Structure formats: C-alpha cells, structure tokens
Chains A and B, each alone.
Chain A
Amino acid sequence: ILNVEQSPQSLHVQEGDSTNFTCSFPSSNFYALHWYRWETAKSPEALFVMTLNGDEKKKGRISATLNTKEGYSYLYIKGSQPEDSATYLCASMKTSYDKVIFGPGTSLSVIP
C-alpha cells in the first residue's frame, strides 16, 4: 500500500447500532496513525494518535486499534448516536517531522 486507504467510503446505520471501519496505511517506515472526526461546517477534530503495534485507545463510545505490521487500524463506535454522524479521517506519518497524509475518509450517517 502506497497511500492511506479507508473503507467503506460511506456507511448508514440505525441509532443504537455498533459499527466499525478500516484504515490501511503503508507499514514500512511507520511512525504514527491519527484518527480525526470531521463534522460538516467544522474543522477536523483529533480523536486518537497511536504509535505502537497493538495499541488500543478509547474515548467514550469510540475506540481504535492499531496493527503496524500489517498496516491497518480499526475504528469502532459502540451504540451509534445521531451526533456521531460525521466523516472519520485517518492519517499516517513516517516520522515525527513527516507530513501527515490523510485517507479519503469514511462518511457515517446515523439514522434516528
């Protein structure tokens, strides 16, 4: 993988459903993997930054895992709420000084 990829592109779930999406990134020369939440008409907001293989981070109903050897990260949302509707971006870095390269995002719509 040369670029950061995310799947699915978009997702519609019912309120209360749990969901997850995937970020794939180059596993060579890896430094950090970022997750951001981007609501319409707002700027992206950082959720997690992970660096270690096997890392798992949690923020309320949202959690993320990281596999640096195979180059993927999962973002999980438990019991989705309408306010979770947003685009979720992941981004990777090769060094601390490196540019942060974003994937195309997963657009989540939670239907009340």
Chain B
Amino acid sequence: AAGVIQSPRHLIKEKRETATLKCYPIPRHDTVYWYQQGPGQDPQFLISFYEKMQSDKGSIPDRFSAQQFSDYHSELNMSSLELGDSALYFCASREVSGASPLHFGNGTRLTVT
C-alpha cells in the first residue's frame, strides 16, 4: 500500500540558509500535518492543511511557511535557519471523514551547522 513519502530523508544546512521539505500524502487523504521533534522531545504540531487550505497553526516560527498544492503534496519552507531548527520533521496525512488515524512519513532529519 502507498505510504506518506517525505523528501529528503536527511538535510544538512548552514545557519541563515533556507530549506524546503516535501511531503506526498497517501492518495485520497485530504489532510496533511507537519510536526517537529527536537532531540529528546515529543512531537510538536507546526501546521496542518485540509483540501489545500491551512486549517490550523501551532508553534510554527514566522521564518517557516508551508503550503499544500493542487496535487495535495505539501512543502515546508524554512528560512534564516538557526541551530535550534535541527530536528526531525514528520509529515502525516489522514482522511478527515471518520475517526481515521494519522499515517506518518519516515521524516526528514534536518541538521543546521
């Protein structure tokens, strides 16, 4: 079965650079969520999209932006990177209808040096 695909798997950037993370949800899933997990921390909700519109926003810095495109894939854009942005970034998708679970991608590990 198709799963959530995230790219790249690993990314190394320097401070003040820009990074773009991509997420391809499971076909027919209409909602995408982004989470950030810092070292030794629980996943923190960043932002979500439903039917290509932003549906909710969590603790996402102003330096970050995200969008969902017409093919339902989503991109998380991160500018002016800081050392503290080093984390594992998970994307998850689900169907809004019914009590369906999140399906997670394998994550993108971002290291800022």
Q: How far is the CB of A80 from chain B (nearest CB, A)?
A: 22
CB distance from B28 to the nearest CB of A (A): 16
A96 lies within 8 A of B98 (CB): yes
A102 to B106, CA, bound (A): 18
Instruction: List chain A residues, Cβ under 8 A from B43.
Output: 44, 89, 102
Chain A nearest CB from B102 CB (Å) reads 6
A105 touching B42 in the complex, CB below 8 Å, given contacts A43-B107, A96-B97 = yes
Shortest Cβ distance from A47 into B: residue: B101
A3-39 residues at the B interface, CB under 8 angstroms:
31-32, 34, 36
Is there contact, CB below 8 Å, between B107 and A99? no
The interface residues of chain A lying within 8 Å CB-to-CB of B31 are 97
Task: Please give the number of chain A residues whose Cβ is less than 8 angstroms from any Cβ of chain B in the complex.
Answer: 24
Cβ 8 A contact of B42, one of A50, A96, A102: A102
Chain B: residues with Cβ within 8 Å of the partner, total of 25
Summed over the interface, the residue pairs from A and B with CB atoms below 8 Å come to a total of 56
**Cβ of B48 < 8 Å from any Cβ of A?**
yes
B42 near A103: Cβ-Cβ < 8 Å: yes
Which residues of chain B have C-beta atoms less than 8 A from A44's C-beta? 43, 90, 92, 102, 104
> A105 CA to B42 CA in the complex, in Å?
7
Contacts of B55 in A (CB 8 A): 97, 99
Are A99's CB and B45's CB within 8 A?
yes
B interface residue numbers (CB < 8 A to A): 31, 33, 35, 42-43, 45, 48, 50, 55-56, 58, 90, 92, 96-107
The 8 nearest A-B residue pairs measured at CB: A46-B101, A43-B104, A104-B42, A99-B56, A49-B99, A32-B99, A51-B99, A49-B101
